[in-house]
Amino acid sequence: MSTDLDSLLALQADDVVIHGLQEQMAALEPRIRELDQRKQRTLDAIGRTSTAVAAEEKKQAWLRDKLAEHKLLIERNQTQMDSVTNMKMATAAVAQMEQARKIVSGEESDLLAINRRLEELRAVLNSQNNELAGVETEQEAARAEVASQRVSIDKEMEVAKAKRADAAKLVPADLRSKYDRIRGGKKRTEAVFAMSGMSCGNCDTAIPMQRRHVMNNTGAIDLCEACGVLMYFPG
Ligand SMILES: [Zn+2]
């Protein structure tokens, strides 16, 4: 009965398809972005661990030098002790030796602690590097997949737009511009709604009987004054 309505609904169906394709396209971007962010977080973590490793290595080198120096000192003390001739000198040499040994033993346990920390930090660094490699592999795969999805969505979009252009030709110009205005103005996906009982199918506002009657009898497409969409009487 109402060919205008049929043409309009066909046009809207094409627009819904186009909208779906646009959403599919938009959904591809966040996936790449999420992987980029994860890679950056991993790189930051690697940077922090590397800095900590470098600092511990510096301490380790410094401590090794000190330790070598102090061990040499003990050796020298030992030689001196062999050549002392009186008790007083011997007591002094023993005290000095004890002191040096205490220092060396403290340094040795510090060095052990640093070695342990370095071992832990290097293990962390290793697992962070593994994670980075994993993210990069994932990224590469995702990029390739997104690129191929983009190509296929583009193809579907081309077909959908051509179909939409044909469908638009069948809708009378004034009705079409009304429809385009409603969709464009409020960025709606749909602009045409079937009435739901006595109410607008979109906002559920009750429509006066008089207008319902006209729509029912003539197949007219009417505007909902509450939400601004086009309404029609189903069936
Ligand atoms: Zn409404």
CA distance 138 to 50: 24
pLDDT digits (tens, 9 = 90+) for 140-149: 999 999 999 9
Place of tokens 């599919």: 24
Q: Which amino acid is at 27?
A: A
- Please compute, for residue 154, the number of CA atoms within 13 A of its CA located in the half-sphere on the CB side: 6
Distance from Cα 230 to the centre of ligand 1, integer Å: 8
What residues in the chain have per-residue pLDDT under 50? 1-2
pLDDT digits (tens, 9 = 90+) for 84-119: 888 888 888 888 889 889 999 999 999 999 999 999
Distance from Cα 204 to the centre of ligand 1, integer Å: 6
Helix, strand, or coil here: 219? coil
Query: Domains in the chain, start-ordered, CATH in brackets?
Result: 3-169 (1.10.287.1490), 172-235 (no CATH)
155 alpha-carbon distance from chain centroid: 27
Q: What is the DSSP string of 17-30?
A: HHHHHHHHHHHHHH
Distance from Cα 168 to the centre of ligand 1, integer Å: 24
120: nearest Cα among 49, 31, 70, 66: 49
Distance from Cα 177 to the centre of ligand 1, integer Å: 19
Q: Which amino acid is at 42?
A: T
Distance from Cα 199 to the centre of ligand 1, integer Å: 8
Q: What residues contact residue 53 under an 8 Å CB cut-off, 6+ apart?
A: 118, 121, 122, 125
Distance from Cα 206 to the centre of ligand 1, integer Å: 8
Distance from Cα 222 to the centre of ligand 1, integer Å: 10
Distance from Cα 169 to the centre of ligand 1, integer Å: 27
CA distance 121 to 115: 10
Distance from Cα 49 to the centre of ligand 1, integer Å: 59
**In this predicted structure, what is the pLDDT of residue 89?**
83
Predicted TM-score (pTM) of this structure: 0.70
**In this predicted structure, what is the pLDDT of residue 1?**
45
Query: How far is the CA of 90 from the CAs of 56, 70, 81, 94, in angstroms?
Result: 40, 20, 7, 6
**In this predicted structure, what is the pLDDT of residue 186?**
64
Instruction: Please list all protein residues whose beta carbon sits less than 5 angstroms from ligand 1, which is an ion.
Output: 200, 202-203, 224, 226-227
CA distance 4 to 19: 22
CA distance 141 to 82: 73
Distance from Cα 205 to the centre of ligand 1, integer Å: 6
Q: Which long-range contacts (CB under 8 A, 24 or more apart) does 149-152 make?
A: 149/24, 149/28, 150/25, 150/28
CA distance 142 to 38: 13
Q: What residues contact residue 140 under an 8 Å CB cut-off, 6+ apart?
A: none
Distance from Cα 113 to the centre of ligand 1, integer Å: 73
Distance from Cα 232 to the centre of ligand 1, integer Å: 11
